[in-house]
A and B are shown apart, each in its own frame.
Chain A
């Protein structure tokens, strides 16, 4: 199923967003270039992320997929020597606009990291952390939100009797679900997942994947993963990045079974020619 074209060009915006109607776009990225010092991480990248779907970013290490993910909630702002060009639009609003409050943006766009990073506090306080940053909730309401968040993260049954124990006593998989619960508690619109299962055992990984599938009913999820099976299992759309450029983007089924470009197929099948 190799393409006839011997030197395929990267996908154009027109091609890859064809089937995502503009009303269903959560993120619109246009011509995004990000450089750290004199090293370019992303060059002229454009893509749209559909609302209430799981979008996976795949590609070799250093291809810029994590940089792209961290651009969604402006976490790359923390690097001192970062330079950015291009637009990132969330629900019609440019996120770099001066009137955008970064803290509020990050509440709307939650993030789960590669290694579980619960705070050294109790389970309850971990989930309550984001809530306490907002306007004060009455304790009863807060307790309800925390229970809901832990249930949504499929952790409630395991921790309901030990909410006030240290979160660091949980297993790695539980910690990662706790981090997801913590993120859900502030009711984000988008959750970014940066290789959320790469540090976990297979059973914990399955639980996380199931969780991701359940969450897309009311959330937009963006997933970075090195695990092709995982991308195929949980995502609706898949973007393949290489050397800071978007190579191919489309429905996951298409990308995995019938990729447009040879480079994509080689990466997915693990061929290195």
Chain B
């Protein structure tokens, strides 16, 4: 009897080869599936989906975007469909399950709009009229109405940015000066003038109004400053939809969150994550590298060194929440509390450094990633042949000169490997951050134009925590879900970009130090 291996040559390697290859294939598949799921669910959310006008068997009408369809529980043929209907203020909910059998007709009339509002989530329905101070345009005016609406929305957004500039650049600094008692004669008047100007701007933003009507027949009049965007997906061509999609993605990346993190963008979280990782790198690299140099190059190699080395390696396995507790106890309450009582006593009892913040979070993560950097750097140092050190010493270099001029430059790629591992670990860490400085909604990013520009004591937003908060702490699961996917995708991308940067850096240095093999 012939053995099966000879009939099937691909089995000749035996079951181990298959098992190993299967392992690789499975890992690859899981990574790809993860990315596809995140990208598919996350990015589809920004697509301007058609709005259906649905008439039910009983004659009732409503409008909404199809979210998904599923079988009715307990029935064989029955299906139900989930619509996103918006109009939370009018209907009480913005999601509606409809039995497919109850639907009489479905249409996509071009005049249906989805209006993004500052409050109450989206409105879905029709625009009845646009009311200016003197004129009124109705649907009969056709394109003129939409043009006017666009123009007026632009005007409002210009006024808004003007108001923000006046507020942040003039009013707030002035108010702060006054609060600190640095009075100049005209300051009080100037403050009043600025306040009046802001009120003026706000009134100007409310000049125009739009009248909306839902398909159920309820009317709603909103001033334009309550609106963010008005789109008519049913009237859009594919390129227009694409550009709208791009615009939405950009807004997601560049704006702050709204509606208790269930809408809007995640810019503060992106910024907070990157800022924290950078600060963590700046803190961990010198410590880790110095510790590795001491352990490998300077300390006498004996039992104590071995013990320290084992300790360092074991620190890498401590659960991150333990580091969080440590950070809270030592950094926040200990050091932060002391700093407050020494330098910010006049602010007490409201804490400055005595509460979680960017600095403490970065320090905690630096501590968490320290073992990784030490181990990677030490391994790099150990790989450098003694011949290199002796070569430098034999030319009259002192030990520190040999270290600085020969050993350290050769160990840079290993240090960067340590940095890559540290960044990968730190950017994905959420648990300890919840204790030492992350917040669900930060009104200000930790970097701005007022001295000292980087505000290390501020709380910050983080992509990982944002996923947790938006997905599991909001009331509206349906609207949070796509944001969770999109945020998760972004977190993966941010880590990827940070890592690729370090890998590119390492590659450049390795090429310069390329070792020729004989």
A contact residues vs B (CB 8 Å cutoff): 73, 75, 78, 80, 102-104, 106-107, 110-111, 113, 115, 117-120, 129-130, 133-134, 166, 168-169, 172, 179, 182-183, 186
Q: How far is the CB of A176 from chain B (nearest CB, A)?
A: 12
- Nearest-CB residue, chain A, relative to B409: A120
B40 contacts A by Cβ under 8 Å: no
Q: Which of B301, B391, B401, B512 contacts A133 (CB 8 A)?
A: B401
Q: How many residues of B contact A (CB 8 A)?
A: 25
Complex Cα–Cα for A86 and B301 (A): 27
Complex Cα–Cα for A75 and B397 (A): 12
Q: Mark B380-401, 1 if CB is under 8 A from A, else 0.
A: 0000010110111111111001
B136 contacts A by Cβ under 8 Å: no
B contact residues vs A (CB 8 Å cutoff): 300-301, 385, 387-388, 390-398, 401, 405-406, 409-410, 512-516, 518
Q: How far is the CB of B386 from chain A (nearest CB, A)?
A: 8
Complex Cα–Cα for A243 and B216 (A): 105
Q: How far is the CB of B300 from chain A (nearest CB, A)?
A: 6
CB <8 Å contact, B398 and A103: yes
Q: How far is the CB of A162 from chain B (nearest CB, A)?
A: 14
Complex Cα–Cα for A42 and B46 (A): 80
Given contacts A80-B301, A169-B516, contact A113 B398 (CB under 8 A): no
CB <8 Å contact, B395 and A133: yes
Q: Which of B387, B398, B513 contacts A115 (CB 8 A)?
A: B387
Complex Cα–Cα for A78 and B388 (A): 14
Which chain A residues border B405 with CB–CB below 8 Å?
Answer: 129
Given contacts A80-B300, A166-B514, contact A111 B396 (CB under 8 A): no
Which chain B residues border A179 with CB–CB below 8 Å?
Answer: 391
Which chain B residues border A73 with CB–CB below 8 Å?
Answer: 394
Complex Cα–Cα for A134 and B392 (A): 13
Complex Cα–Cα for A102 and B405 (A): 18
List the 5 shortest-distance A-B pairs measured between CB atoms, nearest first. Answer: A107-B396, A130-B395, A111-B394, A117-B387, A120-B513
Q: How far is the CB of B220 from chain A (nearest CB, A)?
A: 72
Given contacts A80-B301, A120-B409, A129-B405, contact A182 B395 (CB under 8 A): yes
CB <8 Å contact, A75 and B392: no
| Residue of A78, A113, A119 ringed by the most chain B CB atoms within 10 A | A119
| Residue of A73, A80, A106 ringed by the most chain B CB atoms within 10 A | A106
CB <8 Å contact, A133 and B397: yes
Q: How far is the CB of A100 from chain B (nearest CB, A)?
A: 13
Complex Cα–Cα for A75 and B394 (A): 8
Q: Which of B390, B392, B397, B515 contacts A168 (CB 8 A)?
A: B515
CB <8 Å contact, A119 and B514: no
Given contacts A119-B406, A120-B515, A166-B514, contact A78 B300 (CB under 8 A): no
- Nearest-CB residue, chain A, relative to B388: A117
Q: Which of A80, A129, A168 contacts B516 (CB 8 A)?
A: A168
Complex Cα–Cα for A169 and B397 (A): 24
Q: How far is the CB of A67 from chain B (nearest CB, A)?
A: 14
Which chain B residues border A168 with CB–CB below 8 Å?
Answer: 514-516
Complex Cα–Cα for A98 and B410 (A): 33
Question: What are some 19 contacts across the A-B interface (CB < 8 A)?
Answer: A73-B394, A78-B393, A106-B393, A106-B395, A106-B397, A107-B396, A110-B394, A110-B395, A111-B390, A113-B391, A113-B394, A115-B387, A119-B392, A120-B410, A120-B513, A120-B514, A130-B395, A130-B397, A166-B514
